Amino acid sequence: MIEITHLTKRFGDLTAVDDLSISIEAGEIFGFIGPNGAGKSTTMKVLACLLKPDSGSAKVDDLSVRAQGDAIRQRIGYMPDFIGYYDDLTVDEYLQFFAAAFRLPRKKRRSIVSGVLELTDLTAKRDTMVSSLSRGMSQRLGVARVLIHDPKVLLLDEPASGLDPRARIEMRSLLTELARMGKTLMVSSHILSELAEMCSSIGIIEQGRLIFAGSIDDAYARVKGAERILIRLEPADNIAQIVASVVSALDADERVESATPVDGKAGVIDVELKDAEPGRHFLLERVIAGGGRIASFEPQSVNLEDAFLRLTKGAIQ
Ligand SMILES: Nc1ncnc2c1ncn2[C@@H]1O[C@H](COP(=O)(O)OP(=O)(O)OP(=O)(O)O)[C@@H](O)[C@H]1O
Ligand SMILES: [Mg+2]
């Protein structure tokens, strides 16, 4: 349903999107993840036909953003990261305004607006001024607006930003419901855990480049490799010296990403492995080689958020 092929978009000297290729099947909820400035909004604006690509191509429902913008606009609902609201309107008037802008038949507008209000749980707020909605409600109104013309594809730029945990859960169930109705969703966020539960696939982007694409399970499998283990050594008089020599023995092993003494805890070393395979027995050998005696071995659970930070370590444009 969405096919991005070798897409590049520059702003002057800055390459905001760099040779990006992404494919999203119909009915998917695709989580588009990346730190600030990664190029998420830029990519979505290209898909929404608001920015022209410098090179490469982007297609929505087999239509090209370069040549068939008008047809694409009928098929997509784009919710920007910042929604300029029309503050002197009520919720109902606001949605009626967009129904008119999309040239929906006048007779049908009332029932369409009622339908989207119902779906986004805003019926009770229909006569409230847009300016007095809470953050969560205005985000939902943003979703209501993009549903007015019943598009096949929704491009939602950070719909959950600034929401409290409960509003986030409500947003997730709304988006899941939309996917169940057969819509294809591309949802951006810089927080992976915000999306993990509802996405059927994710793409992680950094400095305009795709660094991971696949299912959440694939993402877990990928980051599982980078395992962390806390090694506790038996107490000894010269523990600082032993820790130093164990750390250098571990550091010398190519299977070890890093070995660091834990501050304030005598004899505890935090070890990060490059790969969980082929087992950890070699750690024992290294500790012995460094003159240490192991008291305990504590694998640290893999937190997807940490793992994500590791995948995108450093580089923020
Ligand atoms: N209109 C513009 N003119 C010049 N540079 C721009 C423009 N829009 C975006 N950029 C730059 O392109 C890069 C990508 O920006 P983009 O808004 O796509 O990132 P993002 O992933 O959406 O980030 P965020 O999480 O902060 O929303 C940034 O370095 C940004 O400064
Ligand atoms: Mg953005």
Sign of the CA dihedral running 278, 284, 288, 292: positive
Decide whether any atom of ligand 1 lies within 6 Å of the 315 Cβ.
Answer: no
Tell me the three state secondary structure of residue 212.
Answer: strand
As a 3-state breakdown, the chain gives helix, strand, coil percent values, each rounded to 5, of 40, 30, 35
Decide whether any atom of ligand 1 lies within 6 Å of the 14 Cβ.
Answer: yes
The residues that bridge with 184 in the sheet, in sequence order, are 153
Q: How far is CA 317 from CA 37, 39, 157, 268, in A?
A: 6, 9, 19, 36
Mean pLDDT of the chain: 88
Mutation choice for ligand 1 from 8, 14, 157, 158, CB with most ligand atoms inside 8 A: 14
**CA–CA separation, 267 and 242 (whole Å):** 8
Of all ligands present, the nearest one to the C-alpha of 35 is: 1
Q: What is the pLDDT of residue 317?
A: 33
Of all ligands present, the nearest one to the C-alpha of 42 is: 1
**CA–CA separation, 141 and 111 (whole Å):** 16
Residue 18 CA, chain-centre distance (Å), reads 18
pLDDT digits (tens, 9 = 90+) for 125-165: 999 999 899 888 999 999 999 999 999 999 999 998 888 88
Instruction: Name the burial class of residue 97, with classes exposed (0-12), middle (13-18) and buried (19+) by CB atoms within 10 angstroms of its CB.
Output: middle
Sheet with strand 153-157: strands edge to edge: 76-79, 153-157, 184-189, 29-33, 201-206, 209-214
**Residue 145 backbone zone (phi > 0: left; psi -120 to 50: alpha; other: beta):** alpha
Tokens of 17: 């999107």
Looking at domain 2-222, its CATH architecture is 3-Layer(aba) Sandwich (3.40)
pLDDT digits (tens, 9 = 90+) for 201-245: 999 888 999 988 888 777 776 666 557 889 999 999 999 999 999
Closest among 24, 78, 19 to 49, alpha carbons compared:
78
Task: Summarize the confidence of residues 42-53 as an average pLDDT.
Answer: 96
Decide whether any atom of ligand 1 lies within 6 Å of the 36 Cβ.
Answer: yes
What is 227-301's CATH number?
Answer: 3.30.70.100
Backbone torsions φ then ψ of 66, nearest 5 degrees: -75, -40
Question: Domains of the chain: which residue ranges?
Answer: 2-222, 227-301
How many CB atoms within 10 Å of residue 241?
Answer: 11
**Among 109-113, 121-125, 167-171, where is mean pLDDT lowest?**
167-171
Rg (CA), the chain: 25
**Distance, CA 80 to ligand 1 centroid (Å)?**
13
User: How many residues does this entry show for the chain?
Assistant: 317
**CA–CA separation, 293 and 4 (whole Å):** 54
Position 316 pLDDT exceeds 50: no
* Confidence class for position 198, pLDDT limits 50, 70, 90: confident
- Between helix 91-101 and helix 135-147 the angle, nearest 10°, is 30
Q: Is the pTM of this model over 0.85?
A: no
Position 314 pLDDT exceeds 60: no
Of all ligands present, the nearest one to the C-alpha of 317 is: 1
Decide whether any atom of ligand 1 lies within 6 Å of the 15 Cβ.
Answer: no
Instruction: Name the burial class of residue 136, with classes exposed (0-12), middle (13-18) and buried (19+) by CB atoms within 10 angstroms of its CB.
Output: middle
